[in-house]
Amino acid sequence: MTLLSVNLNAVAQLRNRRDLPWPSVTGIARVVLDAGASGVTVHPRPDERHIRRTDVFELSALLRAEYPDAEFNIEGYPSEDFLELIERVNPQQVTLVPDDPTQATSDHGWDFTGKGNFLTSVVQRLKRPDRRISLFCDPDAGAAGVAAAKATGADRIELFTGPYGACFDDPDRAKVKLAALAETCHFALDAGLGVNAGHDLTLANLPAFQAAVPGVAEASIGHGITADALLVGFAEATRRYIDALR
């Protein structure tokens, strides 16, 4: 079964439009966890345009006090500030992404070969028995990319599903993207890496993804689930995504 981690960035971005304390990031975290989500994800960026550092600490305190079995996944580019934040908060999972600070959202995976030494040093610094490290991975990384990711010492890769999500109006193209994702997932599992997935996954495209790419341990979903929550509420949207991942 693929677990659901709800990305709360869109909630924080809506809150930040006004100098007001709502919608509450911790409040929505409670809602999705009570509805069955296995964890929450945040991606704090240097400009704090959505998740703020204070959110990270408040969510960490919430999960430790009220949801000790839930997973806290923090994504980000491994700058020194980010690494120090991770060491202070100690989440169960860290997902390293190759984002430029000016990017609106993640749009590519790591160059595992070119950045292998850098990633290895970061993984060695962050990895602990109670913390897994995941690396954002292009859907067509293939055997060579997966081998280079494995060599860093990481525990998992996160498949970047954005190119597949962008094919909602082109079924033939979607099949090609799914085939690439399935191949990379297969190589990763064979290499002993766990596999996560995320980006532009929706209730409409999850069934085909789940059928084509077996073995994904966790999906991190934010924009799609937030959009659906505007219509049905976060609790119901969370339940629907859990059902789709089953």
pLDDT score, position 117: 97
Q: What is the pTM of this model?
A: 0.95
- Position 104 scores a pLDDT of 59
Q: Is domain 3-245 classified as CATH 3.20.20.70?
A: yes
Catalytic residue flag (residue 223): no
Please tell me which residue in 71, 75, 158, 218 is annotated as part of the active site.
75
Neighbour-count burial for 169-194, b at 16+ CB within 10 Å, e otherwise: eeeeebeebbebbbbbbbbbbeeebb
Domain ranges of the chain: 3-245
Active-site option among 43, 71, 158, 218 = 43
Helix (H) or strand (E) holding 5, with range, is strand 3-7
Q: Of 50, 71, 158, 199, which one is the catalytic site residue?
A: 199
26 Cβ contact list (under 8 Å, min separation 6): 55, 58, 59, 62
Instruction: Chunk the chain into consecutive blocks of 10 residues (it has 246) and report each block's average pLDDT, rounded to whole numbers.
Output: 97 94 96 98 95 98 98 97 97 93 72 96 97 98 97 98 94 97 98 98 97 98 97 98 96
